[in-house]
Chains A and B, each alone.
Chain A
Amino acid sequence: MLLLTPVEETVLSHTFAHGLMRAGLALAEMTGHEIIVAAPDVRRCSPADVIAMAGGPDKVVVGIYLGIGGSLSGHALLMLPPDGARRLARILLEGVVVPAGDGAPPGDPFVLDPLEISALQEVGNVTISAFLNELGMHLHEPVLPSVPQAVVEMAGAILDAVLVDLSLEANQVLAARAAFIEGYDAIEGTLLVLPRPESLGALLEALGVDGQ
């Protein structure tokens, strides 16, 4: 049940927005490129709305998923368009591996090789952990991300199990979202954090608004 009061929602939005900015900073540091965090937003919405935020149910994206456990529970996803994901992987792998063949065509962006997948998983790990670290600042017990998992799939299919996990007793979910834009290589991504509302108690208390 989503029982957040308006005050709780406001304070939570503020905290989450901070977290989203931190995530953007981490992404910038990792890529060495400037990242713009656009439209950080925290809202209650339907599962269908969340799928729309991700670009639509049949939009093929590279999704990097992390489960959230510990003193908060829920799910987080960093989503990138496949060609953007490939460009991002290239940025990260530059100087670390010699690219195979000079001038060889990039190949199907829907198929990522294991090292690209690993690089992207690490991007998800670092970015989402930065968000969770920010939240964890307020808490005595840590927020614990899972190991990351990257998939190239339709957004609806990736979000299905996540939304269903949050929807058994509720028909709205709480979604914290930001768009990330890396201007130089024209890479855009969306970070989506979907906390389980029942797990927000400790955080709300730490922020001084539990029950207000």
Chain B
Amino acid sequence: MNTALRGPVVDLPGRGGGVPEGRPAGRNTEKMAKILVVDDAAFMRLRAVKLLAEAGYTVIEAENGRLAVEAYARERPDAVLLDITMPEMDGLEALTEIRKVDPTARVAMLTAMGQQSIVMDAIKRGARDFVVKPFAPDRVLGAVSKLLA
């Protein structure tokens, strides 16, 4: 039974719920893929963590680009979901920095910003996918599957 691993970031102010433990959805011997979720909104991280953990992934979090790069270097996740608009270091910069740490890093952007120039910029910097919020859960799970494929 996997527990969602929390990164060194925000103590989510719970309202009693917190994050459910991840259940390996039918798989039993595979190493659980580790996903790094990066978003400055605690609410978004909570949603993503819940969604991913219920799908059987191990999840770590970061609340800005700088912490994301540190978490990536330390934890070496299998894939990253990366917001763009964040304080301290935005997602595009973090993407570049993560790719410096690991040129094979598998990153999908998950952001409210959907302008063509931003999409192009992200792709040029090495993002493999670009999901615009608001997103349907399937879209995010699909993006993660694609990254891990």
Contacts and interface: CB of A to CB of B under 8 A. Distances in A.
Contact between A and B in the complex (any CB pair below 8 Å): yes
B43 A93 contact: yes
Contact of B112 (A114, A126, A141): A126
Interface residues of A, number: 35
Of B17, B41, B133, chain A has the most CB atoms within 10 Å of the CB of: B41
B139 to A, nearest CB: 11
Interface of B: 12-18, 40-44, 46-47, 50, 85-87, 112-118, 132-134
List of 3 A-B pairs having minimum Cβ-Cβ separation, nearest first: A98-B17, A129-B112, A97-B17
Contacts of A144: 85, 113
A51 B115 CA distance: 31
A93 B42 CA distance: 11
A96 B16 CA distance: 11
Contact of B113 (A98, A99, A119, A145): A145
Contact of A129 (B41, B42, B114): B114
A114 B87 contact: no
A101 to B, nearest CB: 7
Given A29-B134, A96-B50, A133 B13 contact: no
A97 B16 contact: yes
A130 B17 contact: no
A105 to B, nearest CB: 14
A100 B15 CA distance: 5
Nearest to B42: A118
Contacts of A143: 115
- Which of A26, A93, A126: most chain B CB closer than 10 A? A126
A147 B85 contact: yes
Of B17, B42, B43, B50, the most chain A CB neighbours within 10 A belong to B43
B120 to A, nearest CB: 10
Given A97-B46, A122-B43, A147-B87, 6 more contacts: A97-B18, A115-B12, A126-B112, A132-B113, A133-B114, A139-B117
B46 A115 contact: yes
Contact of B117 (A98, A101, A119, A136): A136
Contacts of B116: 136-137
Interface of A: 26, 29-30, 92-93, 96-101, 113-115, 118-119, 121-122, 125-126, 129-130, 132-133, 136-137, 139-147
Contacts of B112: 26, 125-126, 129-130, 133, 145
A178 B38 CA distance: 31
Given A96-B47, A97-B15, A147 B114 contact: no
B15 A137 contact: no
A145 to B, nearest CB: 6
A142 B41 contact: no
Most buried by A among B14, B50, B86, B112: B112
Contacts of A129: 85, 112-114, 133
